[in-house]
A and B are shown apart, each in its own frame.
Chain A
Amino acid sequence: MNIHEYQGKDIFTGFGLPVPGGSAVQTVEDAVASAKEYGLPVMVKSQVLIGGRGKAGGVKFCETVEDVKKNATNILGMDIKGHTVRTVLITPAVDIDTELYIGMLIDRNTKRVMLMASAEGGIDIETVAKDTPELIFKQIIDPRFGLLDHEAMEMGMRLCPDDIKRARQLASAMQKLYVAFIESDASMAEINPWIFTPEGVGHAIDAKVSLDDNAMYRHPDYEALRDLEAEDPSERAAREAGLSFVKLSGNVGCLVNGAGLAMATMDLVKYYGGQPANFLDIGGSSNPEKVVSALNIILADKEVKAILFNIFGGITRCDDVANGIIAATNSMDINVPIVVRLTGTNEAEGRALLAKTDLGTADTMDEVVKKAIELAG
């Protein structure tokens, strides 16, 4: 789950990282009130879950109350790459001498958390990584000991070789960021930029944090950080129904058991010239209620002209799945053609059940995909 800058900063503050104060507000009046509270100049920063806010005009420096009014008016409601701005962060503007990058992520290869830092802050770090990888320093962190003093200090001195005071602040910030990462179950945490003022005082002036969905059970308070309005309504409904779903823009609805098979099915729809409407992993369950939820989510998309089921009964039995599909489709009013492919355990029994219904059937994955594309027109 990706969270907003202001929410990431709240987490950072909780772990002792230096973050300039700020308020997240939804109205121009509140923006002005906050600006007065913090004292001008301030920054008005759009809170959307996408990068490139500055370039899109969603981050503005304001010297006067008039500036705040004007910019907050412009930014609230602005569309940034398909994301509507509903909240802005009002935060004191700080003088910037240098901008640096500090980030942490899960490194799949070493199976550890990796610290990445660069003196090239404030710009897109992926561009730096691609064009000038030598400017990014890395440190793999041993989970038994955390980010050790000398590791943090070495990294601090690499970024600020001529200023031990700045290097120390960086070292401390990186150690705090590691604790924040582990304790909040992050999958990614970035400070871009970390800045030093001309007086040499460091601040985290941005925060980009992703939290591990699998760890939400031990952070019940983080559920409130979810931006429900930024979520696609169908993806939200799927999440609440416990289904793994991603909306796409095609017209062939796909219900598949298993994530890998679901991806392969989408790919096959595209291969045969069709467009998948979604990714949906219905899981190992043959529960009719789950099938109903899945169908409701897919049918809410008016673009969907045909629906396919691609079920490989491994542990799940095909006759159970067939009963689930039949019960679900009987209980609903569906005006879109459905084709079902069932293979695996008890496949004959499953097919016999489907033969008694109006549901279309197919023997193979290829066949179900081709039929669905044809029906979608």
Chain B
Amino acid sequence: MAIFVDDSTKVVVQGITGRDGGFHSSEMLAYGTKVLAGVTPGRGGQKFQDTVPVYDTVKEAVTNHGVNTSVIFVPPFGAAGAIYEAADAGCKLIVCITEGVPTVDMVKVMPYLEERGARLIGPNCPGLLAPGIAKLGILPTSIVKEGPVGLVSRSGTLTYEVVYQLSAAGLGQTTCLGIGGDPVIGTTFMDAIIAFNEDPKTEAFVMIGEIGGDAEEQAAEYIKANVKKPVVSFIAGQTAPAGKKMGHAGAIVSGGSGTAAEKKKALEAAGIPVAERPMDIVPALQEIWKK
């Protein structure tokens, strides 16, 4: 088991003929993910790597292959459009990897997804990797290992760093999920935590936050009230100056709120250990897990 994906996950890749879309589609296929179709308008009728049929629209991919999940690798100006199309065609899980999508586009997309009951992961995220089940996005398969730990993060490479350490310590994962670094994202920390809490295979989980917003504070409250599984956290950006965007559009301390110190305080108040350094995450998890 994993969160958000299972054996019935059938994937269409929007932007499969692009450089990034093509590269990562091969990786997803190599990992055994059921990538059944690709979509690039104007390329309908072609085949990706001589096997995966390419269509002009998501609707055709749904009709011909029963896909229920889309992974999006289209440029920022087309990303919102691709999300609408996937949701309209009936995809219930949409993973948008694209970085640089205008925030107003995402604000407009949200009610459309809510009405259709579609879950969005991202944008500006590495996606999701459920070891042994499926890879939806760009998380490297070489560092993951099947096991009982869930991981949710706003970051990309920092996630890899932590997954690498988990796997090296023999702690495999149920699902590694990058929710993205933008201000408006589909799946939030809270959504992921609720899912990890309900997933019987996930025995403990790690939450990697960063400056900006108050998603970590909300998660802390929820965990305190509802979660019995061991949880540890890490917050990036303690040294970030106020008012400066730290790479991710959502990583900004504004008006004195969204600081790493505030988040750390809220998490610790909820009884969640916050690792000082990335290398302290695994030992912290091992320690509370034993208890």
Contact = CB atoms under 8 A, between A and B. Distances in A.
A377 interface: no
Interface stretch (B4-12, B46-54, B157-165, B196-204): B157-165
Interface in B100-125: 100-108, 110-111
Contacts of A257: 157
Contacts of A344: 140, 142-143, 160, 164
A279 B279 CA distance: 20
Contacts of A262: 246-247
Q: State which size class the interface on B falls in.
A: 35 or more
Interface string B202-214: 0000001011011
A112 B107 contact: yes
A185 interface: yes
Q: State which size class the interface on A falls in.
A: 35 or more
Contacts, number: 168
Nearest to A281: B247
B157 A312 contact: yes
Nearest to B218: A109
Contacts of B159: 260
A268 interface: yes
B164 A365 contact: no
Nearest to A144: B111
A292 B103 CA distance: 31
A263 B278 contact: no
Interface in A28-51: none
B284 interface: no
Contacts of A366: 277, 279
A314 interface: yes
A186 B127 CA distance: 27
B142 A345 contact: yes
B140 A345 contact: yes
Interface in B65-113: 76-77, 100-108, 110-111
Contacts of B260: 267
Describe A's contact surface by its main secondary structure: mixed
Contacts of B174: none
Interface string B23-35: 1100000000000
A348 interface: no
B142 A259 contact: no
Given A108-B183, A111-B107, A112-B107, A258 B157 contact: yes
A270 B260 CA distance: 14
A108 B184 contact: yes
A224 interface: no
Nearest to B139: A314
Nearest to B75: A217
Nearest to A125: B255
A215 B104 contact: yes
Nearest to A186: B104
A106 B76 contact: no
B103 A259 contact: no
Contact of B240 (A244, A266, A312, A364): A266
Interface in A252-285: 256-264, 266-271, 276, 279, 281
A271 B239 CA distance: 10
B251 to A, nearest CB: 6
A259 B251 CA distance: 9
B182 to A, nearest CB: 8
Interface of A: 106, 108-109, 111-113, 126, 129, 142-144, 182, 185, 187, 212-215, 217-218, 244, 246, 248, 256-264, 266-271, 276, 279, 281, 312-315, 343-345, 364-366
5 contacts: A214-B100, A263-B237, A264-B158, A314-B126, A315-B24
Q: Would you list the 7 A-B pairs with minimal beta carbon distance, nearest first? A: A260-B155, A259-B247, A258-B157, A260-B158, A215-B102, A314-B140, A263-B236
